[in-house]
Amino acid sequence: MKTNPLVKSIRKKAYYLIMCITIISGLISCSTEEITEDNVVGIYTNLTDNSNTEITIQQASDHFTFKCIFDDNREGSIKSYIWTGTFNNIPSDVVMNGNEEIGTVKFSSGSVEFKAYTQREGTYKGYRDDLADLGYSRSNANDSVIVAKDSIMSETLE
């Protein structure tokens, strides 16, 4: 049984229409989150086997305060670097500590990137997640518990 050419044409156009609607709705749903003053404030972390990065952003009356802590454990001993400063603009700006430019900060959806010009030059990135806002004590220079020899044996630093 042959299909009418008109029916074939309608089916073909309907198929293309549905495909276009699917593609458009997919593109709309992939739009990026707008970065505003309200959603940059918080704690961003990045924990790897060799390092820990914690970036804290707080809002003051007319600027943002910035603190980045980088713990480097690549050579077996933990070395900490701390940068503190302020910046005014989002999504990117220069971070100042008094009159000294210490780096740049750049926000993207759910993450922040800090490019340091002082101390240990480099780029440090932190990610916002549900557990980042729990906060943990940094009263000691390093963690209060270290693991020695294997995961069962531990010793407390004092």
pLDDT of residue 40: 84
Look at 131 and 74; give whichever has higher pLDDT. 74
Predicted model pTM: 0.62
Are 8 and 60 found together in one domain? no
pLDDT of residue 129: 72
User: Exposed/middle/buried for 131, CB within 10 Å: 0-12, 13-18, 19+?
Assistant: exposed
Which residue in 91, 89, 128, 130 sits closest to 110, CA to CA?
128
- Whether 16 is in a domain gets the answer yes
Res. 2 pLDDT band, cuts 50 70 90: low
Residue 16's domain spans which residues?
A: 1-31
Are 88 and 24 found together in one domain? no
Are 89 and 49 found together in one domain? yes
Number of domains the chain contains: 2
- Whether 140 is in a domain gets the answer no
Are 75 and 1 found together in one domain? no
Tell me which H or E stretch contains 12. Answer: helix 5-29
Read off the pLDDT of residues 84-134 as tens digits, 9 standing for 90 and up.
999 999 889 999 999 999 999 999 888 999 999 998 999 999 998 755 545
- Whether 144 is in a domain gets the answer no
Are 116 and 99 found together in one domain? yes
Are 64 and 9 found together in one domain? no
DSSP E strands in 9-144: the ranges are 42-47, 51-59, 64-72, 79-87, 92-97, 100-108, 111-116, 122-127
- Judged against a pLDDT cut of 70, whether residue 29 lies above it is answered with no
Mean pLDDT of 145-157: 44
- Judged against a pLDDT cut of 60, whether residue 49 lies above it is answered with yes
pLDDT of residue 109: 82
